[in-house]
């Protein structure tokens, strides 16, 4: 789809209801899939993989855990889980069929599998999962509260979930700086890799619609989780949040 820099200003309107956001995401990530791995490495200045390793390292030791990686994309976190929990079973789920196909093609682990599913309506039974992960996942949920409720539903009592994502400051001036930084930096990479600035610049808009850090933590608590730990990276731009179903 041919898009220009002016279209950057319209993205917010395309994701302002759960249905619109789900449709936008499926279209958007289908277009982004083929060069997604290059884009994440470039946009994070090569840091993405080490953040994902920290995410998996933050999980508790469990002998044979059932793990679900939400919005798995091309499978990075699922593979790290497969390696750390050799006796576990890992399922990576993603809305976008092209992402799931790429992840399955990269898969060298006997204990990792992938499926096409919406993170707000998964197929897992109640209280059946030991660990849930998500990198750049919940921010993409069509409805954040529903996404958290789904994590709560599928986790066993006492089960942990770890999420790595951009984090929004509570201060309006910081939010504005962060928004335009992401819009320009990610828009640039969308243009370089796809000839389409709206690809990846979407990160700024999805974060704009995401709650600031304290409100996000409050929502997590209200959903029935305890906060286990929160670590910030990159001047507070990213957060690694570990939570536990009470
Ligand atoms: C920024 S990518 C992150 C991919 C991967 N977790 C990573 O860190 O490399 C966001 C992913 O969310 C997926 N996604 C968007 N909406 C979703 C939904 N409702 N349910 C499941 N996955 C979704 C997209 O298809 C995309 O693969």
Task: Please tell me the predicted confidence (pLDDT) of residue 5.
Answer: 60
Whether the CB of 135 sits within 6 Å of ligand 1: yes
Calculate how far, in angstroms, residue 140's C-alpha sits from the geometric centre of ligand 1.
6
**Whole-number pLDDT of residue 89:** 98
Among protein residues, the one with the nearest Cα to ligand 1's atom 1 is 136
Distance between Cα 110 and ligand 1 center (Å): 23
Q: Which pLDDT does position 9 carry in this prediction?
A: 63
Whole-number Å distance between alpha carbons of 5 and 186: 12
Is the sign of the CA dihedral 49, 33, 194, 138 positive or negative? negative
Which residue CA neighbors atom 4 of ligand 1 most closely?
Answer: 73
Supply the pLDDT for residue 114: 98
**Ligand 1 atom nearest to CA at 52:** 8
The predicted structure's pLDDT at residue 4 = 59
Q: Is the CB of 198 under 6 A from ligand 1?
A: no
CATH number at residue 114: 3.40.50.150
pLDDT in tens for each of the 246 residues of the chain? Answer: 555 565 666 778 888 999 999 999 999 999 999 999 999 999 999 999 999 999 999 999 999 999 999 999 999 999 999 999 999 999 999 999 999 999 999 999 999 999 999 999 999 999 999 999 999 999 999 999 999 999 999 999 999 999 999 999 999 999 999 999 999 999 899 889 988 888 888 899 999 999 999 999 999 999 999 999 999 998 889 999 999 999
Complete edge-to-edge strand list for the sheet that includes strand 225-233: 112-116, 89-94, 66-70, 129-135, 155-166, 238-245, 225-233
- CA 105, 111, 117, 119 torsion-angle sign: negative
Task: Decide whether any atom of ligand 1 lies within 6 Å of the 140 Cβ.
Answer: yes
Using the mean position of ligand 1's atoms as its centre, give its distance from the Cα of residue 58 in Å: 21
Q: Give the domain extent around 37.
A: 5-245
119 within ligand 1 shell (Cβ under 6 A) = yes
Number of domains in the chain: 1
Residue 108 alpha carbon to ligand 1 centre in Å: 21
Give the pTM. Answer: 0.95
**Distance (Å) of CA 30 to CA 5, 94, 95, 98, 156:** 20, 11, 10, 6, 32
């Amino acid at each position: 789809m041919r898009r220009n820099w002016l279209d950057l200003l319209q993205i917010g309107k395309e994701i302002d209801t759960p249905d619109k956001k789900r449709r936008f995401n499926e279209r958007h990530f289908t277009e982004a899939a083929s060069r997604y791995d290059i884009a994440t490495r470039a946009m994070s200045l090569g840091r993405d993989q080490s953040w994902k390793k920290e995410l998996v390292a933050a999980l508790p030791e469990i002998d044979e855990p059932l793990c679900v990686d939400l919005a798995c994309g091309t499978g990075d976190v699922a593979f790290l889980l497969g390696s750390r929990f050799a006796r576990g079973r890992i399922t990576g789920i993603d809305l976008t069929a092209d992402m799931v196909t790429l992840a399955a093609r990269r898969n060298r682990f006997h204990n990792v599998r992938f499926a096409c599913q919406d993170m707000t309506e998964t197929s897992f039974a109640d209280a059946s999962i030991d660990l849930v992960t998500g990198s750049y996942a919940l921010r993409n949920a069509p409805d954040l509260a529903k996404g958290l409720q789904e994590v709560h539903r599928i986790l066993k009592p006492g089960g942990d979930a770890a999420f790595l994502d951009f984090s929004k400051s509570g201060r309006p001036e910081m939010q504005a700086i962060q928004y335009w930084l992401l819009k320009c930096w990610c828009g640039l990479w969308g243009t370089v890799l796809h000839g389409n600035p709206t690809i990846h610049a979407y990160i700024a808009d999805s974060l704009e619609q995401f709650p600031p850090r304290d409100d996000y933590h409050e929502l997590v608590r209200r959903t029935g989780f305890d906060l286990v730990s929160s670590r910030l990276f990159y001047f507070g731009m990213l957060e690694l949040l570990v939570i536990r179903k009470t």
